[in-house]
Structure 1
Amino acid sequence: MKIISLDPAQCLPQPDAGMGALRTERGNLPLESVDVAARISGLIAGVEVAEGFRNPFDVTLEATYVFPLPDRAAVTAFTMEADGRVVEGLLKERGQARADYDRALSEGRRAALAEEDRPDVFTITVGNILPGERVTVRLTLSQPLPYEDGAATFRFPLVVAPRYIPGSPLDGSPVGGGAAPDTDAVPDASRITPPVLLPGFPHPVRLSLRADVDPAGLELKEMASSLHLVQREGTTVELRPGERLDRDFILRLAFEASTALLLDGEGAFHLTVVPPAVEETRVPRDVVLLLDRSGSMTGWKMVAARRAAARIVDTLTSGDRFAVLTFDSVVEQAFEGLRPASDRNRFRAVEHLSRVDARGGTELLTPLHQAIALLTTSSAAEEQQAPGAAARGGPRDRVVVLVTDGQVGNEDQILEQAGGALSAMRVHVVGIDRAVNAGFLGRLAGLGAGRCELVESEDRLDAAMEQIHRRIGAPLVTDLSLKGLDLEPGTVSHLGSIFPGVPLTVSGRYRDAAPAQGTEAVTIHGLAGGRPWEQTVPGTVVRDPAIGAVWARAQLRALEDRYAMGEHDLEQEIVRTSTTYGVLCRFTAYVAVDTRQVADGAPEHRVIQPVEPPSGWELPAMPAAASGMMFTTMAAAAPQAPGGFAPEASALEGFGGSGAVRAAGPAPRSGGMPKLGFGKAVPPPTPIRHRLDAILPQLVAELERLRTVTTGRLEYLADLGSRLAAPASYLGGHDELSALARELEAAERPGADADALWARAVEVLTRLTGGAPEATERRPFWKRG
């Protein structure tokens, strides 16, 4: 990637180009297509995802794509197709899979790697793609469909939205090629922050999505897609051409669920229990409402969040106590402590919510800790009883309600520091976004046996709030347990509670792997309104491998959450469960290696695929210092930075190559740039001097990479000069760094001395980084905390 100064009049955009993008004849990005084929049968979907890559350059290429999958989906197969050959992927311990992949590339063989970085964020890396070659990778997965109020939902995410990255940058090389540096709070931030295209980028990735629906004996009443234009033929729904990868695909299927116990004949079961017709009970509640007001909530999301929060306040009764906290980088309260839900206090809370607007970063841990403290400690102000509350007696239900888009990167840190306390409360989450972080929000709600309601548009808000209103109330049945099957200890998913309109789903394993039809049954016990309740459900044998896969995925999620909360001795059990049942997790990876040698060695260049900006997001304003004078372009004659997105070509925070915005992680404890738009830190509009510490991680990384360059030095040095010019400008014209950038940018001119320039660059960068050229030895990123 080269960054050059141009007069805006000299670089008028093409009529069909996106902002910041210039035309190239070779094509812009390695990812050509994403094809999704779903087969929905009842409340389970089988999905195949095909991702097509093409190398438009004259050198071998390694392409990396960071993308989402449904957080409850079980990835059970992976293949690579190239040059008429199909290579099956093998599921291995993650470190071993990466070693196999790296060795194959060094030997000139084609290889592909599939890894999970979050329950809903995955990375595909394809190496040694030959010039002009196309490679297709395929993922096979199974996912359960959540069901509420007479409708099942098939949600398939299509973009990883920018996430707020808290913490201080770590020393050493980044573990990924993304936009944000790794931090002590998010040690793999560089793996989950792909660069973001500017709106309207031309020639987007071709997307196709088709869902075939089999009601499986249920009466299908209606199918509706809420965010995409679709065409329907019978029970098949298909996206219309031209849709972009910028928001979740959501298909709602209206039919009546029924209580059922499915046995796969291989030792796994899936139980569905429709809510019983018992009277709801109401107990006094202590409710803490947390509203996310960070920069990523700008626009329609903030409007919807305010409305949702106000509706929740209106549901409170005189016997309840509550608090309202709004947060970004700081926390504000409508009033001190827990207060009775009187008309006056509810009015004060709604008035406070009406003044809330989006700003700052998503510092979620602090408000969660404050909510926990409010619900677990007492003070004179908190103990004021609303009239009649004492007469009702009984314990108070402790409830946390979080309204957010969940776009944070430090999920594991939050679970570790707050998960234990939240598991003793009821946690309900309202996720508002068209590309919501559903995996994390579902994990939070699952800790407290609560509900996670996702709102993808203002049109969906009223229906969603009707549902969340019932969830905030007491559940119909609590204290659940199972009897009947010979259950394997430790394999049954969290039972939780039964809420109105929401069937209970439980999966697990039993010892009799070959029951006769109709001879197995399970009885579920619980308390309804304080009285014993039970229901017996006969079993049906269904030879469906998805039942076992869905159980394994749920089991792995539970184990990974426990690991994140501090039980680090579970690592081997997680790996064993993943490899035994063939389901991908964060501690394993699929690797596909071709046996043929196709290149002389490792890929000559690497590219990370930038992603679409999420639909409905308002992008940060471009800094005045850059607007009109800083453009990025791919040099057709300089494939050293194909696509402008090589990991080694990390641009200044906030900028990427070829029309991409790099959503940089904020650094509140190491310089504190202002936060706009995404809730991410961006360079200030006027240069600030003497802030070398803010770009020190970038300079350290550049120095480490520079020391490994052995061939093509002049071209590499010229590219390095263009990269160094951006941070020099950010520092307000740092004399030494600016001079080095100018010298290196001239490296490709006739007569340039590669050895002298290389030595000069090493000398200056070593001095600027305080003589810290050696990388710090670090554990593999998935084991770091």
Structure 2
Amino acid sequence: MVYRCGLLTAQKEPVPLKSVEVQLEVRDHVATVVSTLNYENKEDKPLEAVFVFPLPGDAAVCHFSATVGQTQIVAEVKEKQKAREDYDDALSSGQQAFLLEESEQSPDIFSLSVGSLPPGESASIRLEYVIELNVQADSGLRFCLPAVLNPRYQPQGSRDGGSGNIQVTSCPSSLVPYTLSFSAQVSSPRPVSRIESNCSLDPLQYLNSEQTKATIKLAAGHKFDRDVELLIYYKDAHQPTAVVEAGQASAGLGTLMGDPVVMLSLYPEFPEAVMSSVATCGEFVFLLDRSGSMDAPVNHTNRNETRISSARDTLLLLLKSLPMGCYFNIYSFGSSFESIFPKSVEYSQGTMEEALKKVGEMEANLGGTEILKPLEHIFSQPCIPSQPRQLFVFTDGEVGNTKQVIDLVKKNSHAHRCFSFGIGEGASSALINGLAKEGGGHAQFISGSDRMQPKVMQSLRYALYPAVMDISVTWDLPKDVYATVLSPPITSLFQGQRSLIYAGLTGQISEAAEGCVTVKYSLAGHPSQNQLQFNLKPTEDSGLTLHRLASRALIRCLEMEDREPRQQQDESVKKKVVELSVQSGVSSAFTAFIAVNKGNGEAIQGPLVRRNVPAPRMMACGMPAFQSARGMMACRMSAPIGLPVFKSATVKKKGTKLGLIKKSLQGNRREMDASSAGTPPMLLSDVPVPVPSHPPMDPLLRLVALQKASGCWDLSPALATALGKTSEEVETPKPASVNEEVWATILSLIWLHGFKMDVRDEWELLAMKAMSWLRAQDSSCLNECVDAGNALLGCKVEKDSLGL
């Protein structure tokens, strides 16, 4: 089933949210985000406005306040049920109240309730969170402001199907009735070389001559048709760093917020001899989302390339790049799941061809997004001895049981590594990052103008590198100074990828004190280590950002521990989370922010009307509803469940029968939660569509499709066509003593190096396999072949660059 979702627009019902202003402040690898939501009630009755919206899954929400007139009300963190009761009490007393809570199913969905906004009144809501910025393969730091909230598919029979769910109200992105403004300020010890985005930006402005500070704004007229993504590039971004942050004076020593906290950013560097070789074994399991939403475009620059078509092309590259001797299987899922083979099979020419035939027939026609069932089936399959299991998950990430899926991956992490790929706008960062983090793998997001293929092939390289084993972290600190690690243990290391460690520091720390941390591990059977020395002097004016991120990391660890099955219900972990959340002021699954405006004591009069603020939703075809038959179908089916929801209680002055009113309010909440427990009419993501004709194949993929599993090519008319030649032109210059397959393989490699170096990441692994095959042939006239091939194709590729 799908969370309740309807088309509530400005034409259907007034929307009290008028504008959203976002200010981003980036300091090196950490960002602080301040969102201001401006509300105005233009109706003649008091309102309760409810807005369900996405945030990054690993964000630490640390401030929530409301300004009404000249009055600012700062929220406090309370246990969730107590916060809800205080909110209901305030509304039933005729007071203004504001409630911010995290979904119990997914940490990247929040619900904001603005209660008892009087007629003609305005309110400004300030929401602040801090977040780490992930480093991409090209050294860019990625920040994503989620703007699109697609319906989250909630499988039948999933746990906590009632009260834990949050009602999602959304509308097509083209009909969003409020505006977004966005600005960013970036500072770093290293110069800011450039900032890129998937959205139109005003020109970058440097604030100093060293170019270590810069500011940028979203161009005017931005539409809610995509998430806002920034890629920030520093010079020498892959340098290990350590930052020590002073504690909060009012918190007192001996507490997490009172003691200093250090954040270490480590970038392991592995020996070249190890990184130049790739594994020749493994069980590679590919899990592909074929729900209806996968028929949407990958990005806005090429609407003809859908998510499912890009996934098909990517699977072609993956299958051609697998090493001989490995095992593989391909699963696909929607409302049900299926696999190409009953169990993983050995990689060969025959199994590869069978798999590619079925991949070519795959469409986004399997309905919903039931990802849990196929994962359970995959993990139930026995592992193949000496073939480490590598799981690749491709999804647009629109599921409601995120925590349940992540828990399953963690439970089986000892037997596999998980590489995850979030495709398109609205993909759940909590799901994609959680799968990779708990599965010891690597997460990638494909949005904007990104191509899926290079990112996936990078992850395949990670999967083929030797796994890092026996990871440990040791500290060398001055006498009487101690480190307490607050982040979860490091379970995976990849070349050039950052690993973060948070730790609290206790003891007497002098300004000149130095510390050292050593990460030890085993790589390809050899012990290795990386060290980082750092100064223990705290930085100034850091705003407790690191403390909050450390608190968030510790809270997430405890929440995962709380979800592990037990013989008896243990409330101690939940209690720890609540205490830590309240102490640090950081949100959790068990707490909420609550603010009550007691004002002058006069209660707000009149019936309270509920208004659901719609979040922008991408249509599966990437167009507004009225532009396509599919969209019109979605409008007709969604409208009946998107009608206005009214609260029938009459708000009275204090001292009246609050119990009855409170009971009515709580009943409405239970009714709202339960509304998503039944099966609603089928939504857009579930609608089967006619199978479109496939566009002409890309020239690179046309050549790749002809490669054999062993790595070589046949000398065939199809190869000649792929090279842009006739059969006679290709066959005539072949040296007489050379095998046809050797000649065809050399021509293919020359073509790749001569014409496709700009996308080398996509074909490098299959080219390595081809070169290994060539070396095994022990041909004596490779130089002559390379010269003849260059002459035929008009290239100047050196033999050494081919690896021969």
TM-score by length of 1: 0.71
Counterpart of 2:611? 607
Q: Return the alpha-carbon distance in structure 2 between the equivalents of residues 357 and 124 of structure 1.
A: 37
Equivalent residue letter for 2:181: S
Distance 1:125 1:225, change over 3 A: same
Q: Return the alpha-carbon distance in structure 2 between the equivalents of residues 301 and 630 of structure 1.
A: 27
Match of 1:363 among 370, 389, 394: 370
Counterpart of 1:498? 493
Query: RMSD of the TM alignment (CA)?
Result: 3.6
Q: Return the alpha-carbon distance in structure 1 between the equivalents of residues 107 and 638 of structure 2.
A: 40
Is 1:677 equivalent to 2:684 in the alignment? yes
Q: Return the alpha-carbon distance in structure 2 between the equivalents of residues 238 and 647 of structure 1.
A: 42
Q: Identity of aligned pairs, percent?
A: 26
Q: Return the alpha-carbon distance in structure 1 between the equivalents of residues 91 and 10 of structure 2.
A: 32
Is 1:337 equivalent to 2:343 in the alignment? yes
Counterpart of 2:118? 130
Q: Return the alpha-carbon distance in structure 2 between the equivalents of residues 212 and 415 of structure 1.
A: 34
Task: Please tell me whether the aligned partners of residues 634 and 684 of structure 2 are also in contact (alpha carbons under 8 angstroms).
Answer: no
SS of equivalent residue, structure 1 residue 612: strand
Counterpart of 1:62? 48
- After superposition, residues 50-199 of structure 1 pair within 5 angstroms as 50-117=36-103, 118-149=106-137, 150-167=139-156, 184=159, 186-188=161-163, 190-191=165-166, 193-198=167-172
Is 1:272 equivalent to 2:265 in the alignment? yes
Counterpart of 1:721? none
Equivalent residue letter for 1:413: Q
Task: Please tell me whether the aligned partners of residues 468 and 522 of structure 2 are also in contact (alpha carbons under 8 angstroms).
Answer: yes
Task: Please tell me whether the aligned partners of residues 285 and 330 of structure 2 are also in contact (alpha carbons under 8 angstroms).
Answer: yes
Q: Return the alpha-carbon distance in structure 1 between the equivalents of residues 687 and 112 of structure 2.
A: 25
Counterpart of 2:458? 467
Q: Return the alpha-carbon distance in structure 2 between the equivalents of residues 551 and 632 of structure 1.
A: 41
Counterpart of 1:259? 240
Structure 1 residue 84, shift from structure 2 partner: 1.3
Counterpart of 2:720? none
Equivalent residue letter for 1:577: L
Counterpart of 1:549? 548
- After superposition, residues 323-334 of structure 1 pair within 5 angstroms as 323-334=329-340
Q: Return the alpha-carbon distance in structure 1 between the equivalents of residues 638 and 577 of structure 2.
A: 51
Task: Please tell me whether the aligned partners of residues 155 and 248 of structure 1 are also in contact (alpha carbons under 8 angstroms).
Answer: yes
Counterpart of 1:481? 472
Match of 2:583 among 580, 589, 596: 580
Distance 1:627 1:147, change over 3 A: closer
Task: Please tell me whether the aligned partners of residues 20 and 198 of structure 1 are also in contact (alpha carbons under 8 angstroms).
Answer: no
Equivalent residue letter for 2:264: L
- After superposition, residues 412-561 of structure 1 pair within 5 angstroms as 412-457=403-448, 459-474=450-465, 477-484=468-475, 485=477, 491-512=486-507, 514=509, 516-540=511-535, 541-543=538-540, 544=542, 545-561=544-560
Task: Please tell me whether the aligned partners of residues 172 and 619 of structure 2 are also in contact (alpha carbons under 8 angstroms).
Answer: no
Residues 86-143 of structure 1: CA distance to partner in whole angstroms, max 9, x if unpaired? 1111111112222222222222221111111132111111111010111111111111
Counterpart of 2:762? none
Aligned residue pairs total: 611
Q: Return the alpha-carbon distance in structure 2 between the equivalents of residues 372 and 119 of structure 1.
A: 24
Task: Please tell me whether the aligned partners of residues 9 and 171 of structure 2 are also in contact (alpha carbons under 8 angstroms).
Answer: no
Task: Please tell me whether the aligned partners of residues 29 and 132 of structure 2 are also in contact (alpha carbons under 8 angstroms).
Answer: yes
Task: Please tell me whether the aligned partners of residues 415 and 564 of structure 1 are also in contact (alpha carbons under 8 angstroms).
Answer: no
Q: Which protein has the larger Cα radius of gyration, Structure 1 or Structure 2? A: 2
- Segment drifting more, 313-322 vs 466-475: 466-475
Counterpart of 1:180? none
Match of 1:245 among 208, 214, 224: 224
Task: Please tell me whether the aligned partners of residues 7 and 169 of structure 2 are also in contact (alpha carbons under 8 angstroms).
Answer: no
Q: Return the alpha-carbon distance in structure 2 between the equivalents of residues 22 and 468 of structure 1.
A: 44
SS of equivalent residue, structure 1 residue 621: helix
SS of equivalent residue, structure 1 residue 200: helix
Distance 1:132 1:69, change over 3 A: same
Structure 1 residue 314, shift from structure 2 partner: 2.8
Counterpart of 2:183? 210
Structure 1 residue 332, shift from structure 2 partner: 1.7
TM-score by length of 2: 0.70
Q: Return the alpha-carbon distance in structure 2 between the equivalents of residues 271 and 259 of structure 1.
A: 8
Counterpart of 1:295? 292
Task: Please tell me whether the aligned partners of residues 106 and 602 of structure 1 are also in contact (alpha carbons under 8 angstroms).
Answer: no
Structure 1 residue 615, shift from structure 2 partner: 6.3
Distance 1:649 1:314, change over 3 A: farther
Distance 1:520 1:604, change over 3 A: same
Q: Return the alpha-carbon distance in structure 1 between the equivalents of residues 183 and 447 of structure 2.
A: 20
Q: Return the alpha-carbon distance in structure 1 between the equivalents of residues 393 and 643 of structure 2.
A: 43
Q: Return the alpha-carbon distance in structure 2 between the equivalents of residues 639 and 124 of structure 1.
A: 17
Q: Return the alpha-carbon distance in structure 2 between the equivalents of residues 625 and 425 of structure 1.
A: 39
Distance 1:189 1:614, change over 3 A: farther
Counterpart of 2:31? 45
Distance 1:339 1:529, change over 3 A: same
Counterpart of 1:740? none
Task: Please tell me whether the aligned partners of residues 26 and 184 of structure 2 are also in contact (alpha carbons under 8 angstroms).
Answer: yes
Distance 1:513 1:71, change over 3 A: farther
Task: Please tell me whether the aligned partners of residues 119 and 557 of structure 1 are also in contact (alpha carbons under 8 angstroms).
Answer: no
Structure 1, unmatched stretches of 5+, are 1-17, 169-182, 384-394, 654-662, 668-672, 683-785
Distance 1:610 1:23, change over 3 A: closer
Task: Please tell me whether the aligned partners of residues 199 and 218 of structure 2 are also in contact (alpha carbons under 8 angstroms).
Answer: no
Q: Return the alpha-carbon distance in structure 2 between the equivalents of residues 46 and 517 of structure 1.
A: 29
Structure 1 residue 85, shift from structure 2 partner: 0.6
- After superposition, residues 691-730 of structure 1 pair within 5 angstroms as none
Residues 497-553 of structure 1: CA distance to partner in whole angstroms, max 9, x if unpaired? 221231222223233374534422212111122211122212233242111111111
Q: Return the alpha-carbon distance in structure 2 between the equivalents of residues 524 and 518 of structure 1.
A: 20
Distance 1:188 1:146, change over 3 A: farther
Distance 1:145 1:20, change over 3 A: closer
Task: Please tell me whether the aligned partners of residues 493 and 508 of structure 1 are also in contact (alpha carbons under 8 angstroms).
Answer: no
Task: Please tell me whether the aligned partners of residues 94 and 588 of structure 1 are also in contact (alpha carbons under 8 angstroms).
Answer: yes
Counterpart of 2:703? none
Match of 1:399 among 378, 390, 396: 390
- Segment drifting more, 414-423 vs 136-145: 414-423
Counterpart of 2:630? 621
Q: Return the alpha-carbon distance in structure 2 between the equivalents of residues 614 and 524 of structure 1.
A: 43
Q: Return the alpha-carbon distance in structure 1 between the equivalents of residues 606 and 72 of structure 2.
A: 21
Q: Return the alpha-carbon distance in structure 1 between the equivalents of residues 642 and 681 of structure 2.
A: 27
Task: Please tell me whether the aligned partners of residues 186 and 409 of structure 1 are also in contact (alpha carbons under 8 angstroms).
Answer: no
